[in-house]
Amino acid sequence: MKSLDRIGTIRQSLLVFFYGLASLLPIIGILPATTALIRGIRLRHTITRPNPADNYRKWGIMLGVGGILITIYAAMVIVAHILATLGNGDAFME
């Protein structure tokens, strides 16, 4: 990734924040979550000047991590429900 000017840095930071917000949707938010993490980390290593929108980048990364955790939790709930429905996980759901 090439060095960004000030406006490009702000736009990229806001894009990371947007992806972080989109990652809060369970299951389908896994793609925006990984995008937010990757873009946020790459942006941090790319910028050479102070980033006026650095808080948006940081929040986007944190929201991306939260989105991944929400997706993992939702997958665990779905699997537990399937196991309980099949009768293999009755003790697990009590």
Note the pLDDT of residue 88.
Answer: 62
Residues 6+ apart with CB under 8 A from 50: none
In a domain, 74, yes or no: no
In a domain, 94, yes or no: no
Note the pLDDT of residue 92.
Answer: 54
Which structural domain range is residue 17 located in? 6-69
**86 backbone φψ class: left, alpha, beta (φ>0; ψ -120 to 50):** alpha
Note the pLDDT of residue 2.
Answer: 61
Give how many domains the chain has, as a whole number: 1
CA dihedral 74, 17, 45, 10 (to 10 degrees): 170
In a domain, 92, yes or no: no
In a domain, 17, yes or no: yes
In the three-class reduction of DSSP (H, G, I as helix; E, B as strand; rest coil), residue 28 is classed as: coil
In a domain, 76, yes or no: no
Tokens 């990229």 belong to which residue? 12
In a domain, 58, yes or no: yes
In a domain, 31, yes or no: yes
Flag residues of the chain having pLDDT under 70. Answer: 1-3, 88-94
In a domain, 84, yes or no: no
